[in-house]
Amino acid sequence: MPSPVAPDYYINFVIPVYNRAHSLSLALEALRLQSDHRFTVVIADDGSTDKIMPVVLLASKFMSIRYFFRPHDAYNVALMRNYGAKLRTTNCTHIWCLDSDILLNKGAVRHAYQLMLKYPRAIIVGRYDWLPPLVVEPQDVMLRWDDIINARLPIATGNWGAIRHYPDTRHVDWDSHAVQKNIKGAALSGNIIVPVEWWERVGGFDDNIKAQGSDCDFGKRLSKEDADFIFCGHIIGYHIEHERDMKFVQESVQWTIQYMKEKGL
Amino acid sequence: MLSIVIPTYNRAHNLNLCLTALTLQSTLDFTVIIADDGSTDHTRNIVFDDWPFSIRYLWKKHNCFGTAIMRNMGAAVVEKGTTAVLFLDSDVLLNKNAIAAYQDLHKKYPEAVVVGRYDWLPPMRITKNDVLQRWDDVINAKLPTSQAKGGIVGPDPRAADNLFTEQLWQGKYACKIFSGNLLIPVAIFRQVGGFDENIIRHGGQDAELSIRLQLMNAQVIFSQQVVGYHVYHEVNQEQRETSLRINMGYIAQKHDLPALGLRVNWEGGRIEYA
């Protein structure tokens, strides 16, 4: 059932992706199952070498999709988000930055439209929940949603060494005022809805930041412009845990912090 | 820097020829952006072939023949530092000096729109090897004629098009640009607002853009050094004429043509000086 809102708002999802065809297929499956289908998905491919196109083609049977491929030269997450935003549809009013490893709950789009009706110029930050490294197949998203979000699926064993370094934020009290206030500084770019006018005003993400940390910079610049942030606990992104090079992540975060200091943020 | 935007839809073979002709250019200092309007053939395999230039791929779910949308999307994703966009059709082969000539002209006149020549080839069977090894035979139409449906039956289908090109060059038609082989500085393209996405299917996009360029007094240069050879393919003439009339009607509604000293030639589906 579509939500009862004026049709002048339109969401474009921007999903940057690099060699994550499987989790992208899960994310797109979660979008297919949304109760409100008024959105376009822009997939910005940072030069994947795996088989991502079948995933895109399959999803395009169910939703409006745009896909952009750029050869890989670095981890250009910020750049790819900017390209995705440039490829938005003409009627787009809100850009929803989503990561390729996030499963949205089924009412997310519907809640977003309802919030927009009340706060059309606010930046909406969705909740972010970390799942352990589960083995999820696309059909599980439809058939075993409860098992996914309650982490009742088999754990991936690969090179994992059980559940090691996934940040256990499932116990964060998202409703507390302190958390909602702090979220301003580091607007989580994995699940955040930005009105196009704000996006244009701050000029999108900073292309110079590779890999991690572009969201902190983005959130800081938005806060400087006095953007209103709204936290919505009904928009939940379930992050499927995957392997990552923690050393690389930490190094790139360090670089970004240094870069932001030099910029004076 | 120069980016080439090539909109395409189910033209894998011609696109292959087009890209092969680009590999023969005297300079390879450009980026190619393939804007795919939801092809269902093996266009992707062609795009991800080994090309000596940098290539970007854009794919959109097909819902109408939205060449204007694809061109605008292609122009939106140019790299930082790109100063000019070359709009090329996927069935056009550029002569070997074309990009260098475009770059020279762009350096000399950084704010000018440059229009290249457009020549129609007869229905021929052209392969990738022909482009690589028998370039002179390709452009002089010395290859075997394709036996495809239509062939050259009745009057040469190129005649009307060639006549149109000549008259365009002589300045008879108000539409001064041809979106199949056209260089626009990025700043001018942003200022004019890109192609009108309401114009879909065949024809009218370039005419409408040229009217808006005229309104903002943009400089337009014609260059004989750039030649785009149009590979012949079958066209549904009935559909083409219908869509031309619809698009001309749209342009007549959007712009006050009499005030600009223009009128629509409904027979030919063109915009002329009144």
- What's the pLDDT tens digit per position in A10-33? 999 999 999 999 999 999 999 999
Burial category of A121 from C-beta neighbours within 10 Å (exposed 0-12, middle 13-18, buried 19 and up):
exposed
Read off the pLDDT of residues A174-183 as tens digits, 9 standing for 90 and up: 555 555 555 5
Residue A165 has a pLDDT of 46
B89 with B181: CB under 8 angstroms? yes
Chain A residues inside the 8 Å CB shell of B3? none
ipTM for the assembly: 0.89
Report the run of H or E that residue B12 belongs to, with start and end.
Answer: helix B12-23
Nearest residue of B to residue A91 by CA position? B197
Report the run of H or E that residue B108 belongs to, with start and end.
Answer: helix B98-108
Q: A201 CA to chain B: closest CA distance, Å?
A: 17
* CATH code for the structural domain at B2-158+176-235: 3.90.550.10
Read off the pLDDT of residues B182-240 as tens digits, 9 standing for 90 and up: 999 999 999 999 999 999 988 889 889 989 998 888 888 888 889 899 888 877 888 88
Of A48-62, A129-143, A209-223, B46-60, the range with the lowest mean pLDDT is: A209-223
A26 with A103: CB under 8 angstroms? yes
Whether the CB of A49 is below 8 Å from some CB of chain B: the reply is no
Length of chain A: 265
Chain B residues inside the 8 Å CB shell of A85? none
Read off the pLDDT of residues A102-149 as tens digits, 9 standing for 90 and up: 999 999 999 999 999 888 889 888 887 778 788 899 999 999 999 998
User: For residue A25, what are the CA distances in angstroms to A139, A150, B59?
Assistant: 10, 20, 17
Other C-beta atoms lying within 10 Å of the C-beta of residue A51: 9
Residue A210 has a pLDDT of 86
Q: A106 CA to chain B: closest CA distance, Å?
A: 23
Residue A124 token pair: 């909406």
Highest mean pLDDT (candidates B46-50, B117-121, B270-274):
B46-50
Indicate yes or no: CB of A90 within 8 angstroms of CB of B57.
no
Residue B33 banded pLDDT, cuts 50, 70, 90? very high
User: Which of residues A242 and B161 earns the better pLDDT score?
Assistant: A242
Nearest residue of B to residue A208 by CA position? B80
**pLDDT over threshold 70, residue B162:** no
Instruction: Give me chain B's average pLDDT, please.
Output: 87
**pLDDT over threshold 60, residue B148:** no
User: Which of residues A74 and A156 earns the better pLDDT score?
Assistant: A74
User: Which of residues B141 and B226 earns the better pLDDT score?
Assistant: B226
